[in-house]
């Protein structure tokens, strides 16, 4: 069917997606249950840094949509990050298998389908699962993000910020959870309380809450995530030797019962990328597209300061050529200030079984531009692998709303075998760099090695026995009084300590994450 033979409504929609530059091919316009392969729905590569939303009820095909988009991004040289919550995205590394359903879908949407795998790296939080271990130091994670993981209230979050400030000022490196516990314990001791007088105090009750939360986190196995070697987020920007973008898949099934940890970790990755990448403005294609799965977990119970930091990061990171797609069930899971920045929408079916479902459906419809569709009806009748789409055109204007039958992914729609995944991890050049945890001297060791506090006035110091006064050394051997001072072990220790304090306080970003030198 030629363009002129298309129904006028379909022709009008198709005209809104007739971009001249490189684009992702999503599928064909859907009207009254029929797909029109002559009317293709697409997203220009150049607007992907304007962010997006992929939403829909469970089982409507959101994961396959992510896979479809990731494949095409990789094929066009754009690196991709995917969080694999359910463990079924690993198939992107292997060619898909042709079957009747795939052939039928390809024919319906005008797709030339051919099975193909894409260059993939597999990661796992702290090595919990199959994948290259991803770790972050506590100090680079920062107080805002850690407070979110620990489920602290705003008062406790403020106290945690004070603890980080003290550690930064005093050269106490917070690499893992035992370092942070050691600093908290020190600050609640008489010696530590004295040092905090000038900048505020730390109540024993608040310290106790934070310590208990740290203990729970460590007992859940999450302590393996905090430590060294710390992951360098620049690894996410790599391309394969053939020029295709590397797809970084974070395997999360092993930490599904700790959703707050993995959602907050994803935000740490974005915050770190924001710190490290230079400003480049709008490019013809992004440097990285980041799919933020289970996005509602990030916003649930978040403090006002945390939400403000998310909003500002999302707003500013687009000028660094990073695109973010939040993946969740309904747009109402995302705060309005963040939702307003998501210019590209792929909305899968919604169900309206309850009054709350009906309210969510109404709210979703209100987020779309006006269209010829009755979206309230269409969104409840879409099948699996179908979605309502609107994106930004190359000029930055919203495209017409298009009900779309989506293309089939070319890679394996399901997980690869565990042995295949492990072999891929073992063969990765990154495995040797990140596999084995290291434990350098940090706050825990420094505080454990500090001298005992001086005895109180109630306990008089023992009178030392008189020591013979050493004869002065000749000038050519000792350097006189100056030489004696410089050879004094206590003075040497002080000088070393003072030297390490210069520039020791860490500059922190919007989320309180540290600015690290690569």
User: What's the average pLDDT block by block, 10 residues per block, for the chain (518 residues)?
Assistant: 78 94 96 94 96 93 95 98 88 95 95 96 89 93 90 91 92 94 92 76 89 89 89 96 97 75 86 91 93 86 84 92 93 91 95 87 89 92 95 94 97 93 95 94 92 58 49 43 40 39 52 59
Residues 37 and 96 in one domain: yes
- What are the strands of the beta sheet with 52-55, ordered from one edge? 34-44, 23-31, 402-406, 386-390, 344-347, 52-55, 322-328, 288-292, 80-84, 247-251, 120-125, 132-134
Residues 220 and 314 in one domain: no
Under 8 Å between Cβ of 514 and 507: yes
Length of the chain: 518
Answer whether residue 466 is part of any domain: no
Give 82's strand partners: 249, 291
Give 40's strand partners: 28
Enter the DSSP assignment of 94.
Answer: S
61-94 as b/e: b if 16+ CB within 10 A: bbbbbbbbbbbbbbeeebbbbbbbbebbbbbbbb
| Structural domain total, the chain | 2
Residues 176 and 65 in one domain: no
Which domain, by its residues, includes 28? Answer: 3-118+245-416
End-of-domain residue from the set 416, 448, 475? 416
Q: H helices within 82-239, ranges in order? A: 100-109, 138-141, 143-150, 154-169, 177-187, 190-196, 204-219
Helices (H) and strands (E) in the chain, counts: 21, 12
Residues 13 and 104 in one domain: yes
**How much is the pLDDT for 223?**
86
Euclidean distance between CA atoms 247 and 169, whole angstroms = 39
Residues 276 and 411 in one domain: yes
Under 8 Å between Cβ of 95 and 411: yes
Under 8 Å between Cβ of 210 and 160: yes
Answer whether residue 346 is part of any domain: yes
Answer whether residue 440 is part of any domain: no
**How much is the pLDDT for 475?**
41
Residues 53 and 110 in one domain: yes
The residues, any chain, with a CB within 8 Å of residue 326's CB and separated by 6 or more, are 51, 52, 53, 54, 292, 295, 334, 338, 342
Residues 105 and 174 in one domain: no
**How much is the pLDDT for 478?**
42
End-of-domain residue from the set 160, 193, 225? 225
Instruction: HSE, CB side, 13 Å, CA atoms: give it for residue 471.
Output: 3
Residues 217 and 273 in one domain: no
**How much is the pLDDT for 471?**
46
**How much is the pLDDT for 456?**
53
Residues 58 and 162 in one domain: no
The pTM of the whole model exceeds 0.75: yes
Instruction: HSE, CB side, 13 Å, CA atoms: give it for residue 278.
Output: 2
Residues 78 and 147 in one domain: no
Euclidean distance between CA atoms 52 and 291, whole angstroms = 9
Answer whether residue 239 is part of any domain: no
**How much is the pLDDT for 293?**
85
Question: For the chain, what is the largest distance between any 2 Cα atoms, rounded to a whole number of angstroms?
Answer: 110
Enter the DSSP assignment of 284.
Answer: S
Give me the phi and psi of 429, to 5 degrees please.
-65, -15
Residues 176 and 322 in one domain: no
Give 125's strand partners: 134
């Amino acid at each position: 069917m030629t363009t002129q033979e298309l129904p006028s409504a379909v022709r009008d929609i198709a005209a809104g997606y007739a971009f001249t530059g490189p684009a992702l091919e999503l599928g064909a316009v859907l009207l009254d249950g029929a797909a029109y392969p002559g009317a293709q729905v697409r997203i220009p590569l150049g607007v992907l840094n304007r962010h997006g939303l992929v939403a829909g009820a469970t089982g409507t095909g959101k994961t396959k949509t992510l896979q479809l988009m990731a494949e095409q991004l990789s094929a066009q040289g754009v690196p991709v990050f995917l969080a694999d919550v359910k463990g079924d995205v690993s198939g992107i590394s292997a060619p898909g298998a042709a079957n009747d359903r795939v052939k039928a879908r390809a024919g319906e949407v005008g797709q030339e389908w051919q099975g193909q795998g894409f260059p993939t790296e597999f990661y796992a939080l702290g090595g919990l699962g199959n994948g290259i271990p991803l770790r972050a130091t506590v100090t680079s994670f920062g107080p805002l993000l850690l407070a979110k993981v620990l489920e602290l209230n705003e008062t406790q979050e403020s106290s945690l910020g004070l603890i980080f400030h003290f550690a930064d000022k005093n050269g106490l490196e917070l690499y893992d959870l035992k370092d942070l516990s050691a600093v908290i314990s020190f600050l609640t001791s008489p010696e530590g309380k004295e040092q905090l007088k000038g900048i505020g105090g730390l109540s024993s009750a608040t310290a106790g809450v934070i310590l208990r939360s740290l203990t729970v986190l460590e007992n859940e196995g999450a302590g393996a995530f905090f430590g060294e070697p710390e992951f360098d987020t620049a690894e996410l920007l790599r391309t394969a030797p053939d020029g295709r973008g590397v797809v970084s898949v974070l395997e999360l099934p092993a930490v599904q019962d700790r959703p707050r940890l993995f959602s907050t970790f994803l935000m740490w990755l974005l915050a770190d990328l924001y710190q490290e990448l230079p400003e480049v403005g709008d490019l013809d294609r992004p440097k990285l597209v980041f799919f933020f799965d289970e996005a509602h977990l990030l916003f649930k119970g978040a403090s006002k300061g945390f939400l403000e930091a998310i909003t500002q990061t999302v707003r500013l990171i687009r000028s660094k050529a990073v695109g973010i797609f939040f993946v969740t069930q309904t747009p109402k899971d995302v705060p309005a200030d963040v939702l307003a920045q998501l210019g590209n929408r792929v909305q899968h079916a919604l169900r309206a079984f309850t009054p709350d479902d009906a309210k969510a459906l109404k709210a979703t419809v209100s987020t779309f531009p006006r269209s010829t569709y009755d979206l309230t009806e269409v969104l409840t009748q879409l099948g699996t692998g179908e979605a309502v789409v609107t994106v930004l055109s190359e000029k930055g204007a919203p495209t017409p709303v298009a009900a779309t039958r989506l293309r089939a992914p070319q890679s394996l729609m399901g997980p690869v075998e565990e042995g295949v995944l492990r072999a891929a991890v073992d063969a990765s050049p990154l495995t040797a760099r990140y596999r084995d945890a290291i434990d350098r001297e940090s706050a825990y060791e420094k505080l454990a090695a500090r001298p005992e506090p001086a005895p109180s006035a109630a306990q008089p110091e023992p009178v030392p026995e008189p020591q013979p006064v050493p004869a002065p050394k000749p000038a050519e051997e000792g350097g006189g009084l100056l030489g004696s001072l410089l050879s004094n072990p206590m003075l040497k220790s002080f000088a070393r300590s003072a030297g390490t304090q210069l520039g020791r306080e860490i500059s922190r970003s919007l989320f309180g994450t540290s600015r690290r030198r690569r």
